[in-house]
Amino acid sequence: MSGPEILVIIIVALLLFGADKLPDIAKTLGKGMRDFKKATDEIRNELETSTRDIRNDINDVSNTIKKDVTDLSENITKDVNEVADNITKDVNETAENLKKDVNDINDSYKYDYTD
């Protein structure tokens, strides 16, 4: 509201209620506004208090789920690394055995022709 609008409201209030009743009306209006603000603050505090437990429960569940997912991911990574290491080891052993067999065959082939 601008200054002229407030002035018009004050003039209308003076005409309707008179100068002697305006302080009582302003006092009652101020008390009503304080009571309304107090009631809204109480409602806000009650809502925050009642939802605090729910928010804490949600945060606890969220943290538990994050921990479980992290643990599961670490276990899967560990298992995959173990399997990969075993496969690499088996492939290397097989490659060494093949090289040895090829060398044995080559050696036996050389001895067959040199005799």
Which pLDDT tens digit goes with each residue over 18-62? 778 878 888 888 899 999 999 999 999 999 888 998 899 999 999
**Is 13 within 8 Å of 22 (Cβ atoms)?**
yes
Count of domains forming the chain: 1
Q: Which residues span the domain enclosing 81? A: 3-114
If you search the block for the tokens 């599961």, which residue do you land on?
Answer: 72
Task: Report the alpha-carbon distance of residue 25 to residue 18 in Å, rounded.
Answer: 10
Proportion of the chain above pLDDT 70, given as a percent: 93
Task: Report the alpha-carbon distance of residue 11 to residue 30 in Å, rounded.
Answer: 19
Note the pLDDT of residue 43: 94
**Is 76 within 8 Å of 84 (Cβ atoms)?**
no
